[in-house]
Amino acid sequence: MSQSPRVGVLALQGDVREHARVLTGLGADVVLVRRPEELASVDGLVIPGGESSVIDKLSRAFGLQRPVRDAIAGGMPVYGTCAGLILLADRVVDGIRDQETFGGLDVTVRRNAFGSQVDSFEADLSVAALGEPAVHAVFIRAPIVEQTGPGVEVLAALPDGRVVAVEQDAILATSFHPEVTGETRFHERFLARVTRAR
C-alpha cells in the first residue's frame, strides 16, 4: 500500500485545481473524479466550492450521484467547502427547484445566506479543534448551517453565532474556502482521517 493517501477531488465544476494543489502540497496522491471508476479508486473525496445546483445536475449526468452517496454512507472520509457543504447536507433551504444533495451530514443549510458575489467577505475565526492562530476565512456566496443534528460537532461560528464549519463522523464541511487563502489545516485534518480510515 502506498504511503500517500489517495484522495479524489470531485471535478465536475468549481475550484477543483485549488483543492488539488493544496492536497498535492500536503503529500496526497490526487485523482480528479469525473467517473464512478475514479471514485472507486480513492480513499477520500473533496467536494469543492462552485455552484451546488450545477454540480448536482452534472453528478447525475455523469452517473456519480449514487456512487458518491454510497461512498459517504459507507464511511468514506469527505470534505466539502461552500457548495460542497450544501451537497453534503441532508436538508437545504433556498435550493433551486428539484435540487438534490448527496447527503450524509445531518444539517440544514441555507444557500447564498450572505447574498450575492458582491457580498463576499473575509473573517478571522477561532477554531478550537485547530488551535492557534485563528483561521482567516473567505466567504464567497457562502451557505450557513442553520440547524445541526445531535451527531454533528460545530467547529466554527461567526461572532453572531451563525455556524460555518461542522464535522460528523467521517464528514468535514466548511462554508468558506481554505483552499484560496493558504490555510491548510482543514485539509490536513481531512487527510489524517483518510489515513486512519485506510
* Active site positions, annotated: 82, 177, 179
- Residue whose C-alpha is closest to residue 174's, from 90, 78, 100: 78
What span, in angstroms and rounded, lies between the C-alpha atoms of 12 and 94? 22
**Residue among 127, 80, 81 at smallest CA distance from 104:** 80
What does residue 159 show for φ and ψ, rounded to 5 degrees? -55, -30
Which residues, other chains included, contact 8 with Cβ-Cβ below 8 Å and sequence gap of 6+?
30, 31, 32, 33, 38, 39, 41, 42, 44, 45, 46
Cell 456512487, located at residue: 67
Measured CA to CA, the distance from residue 123 to residue 16 in angstroms comes to 23
Residue in this structure with the C-alpha cell 489524517, named with its chain if needed: 192
Residue type for 31, please? V
List, in sequence order, every residue forming a beta bridge with 8; answer none if it has no partner.
31, 45
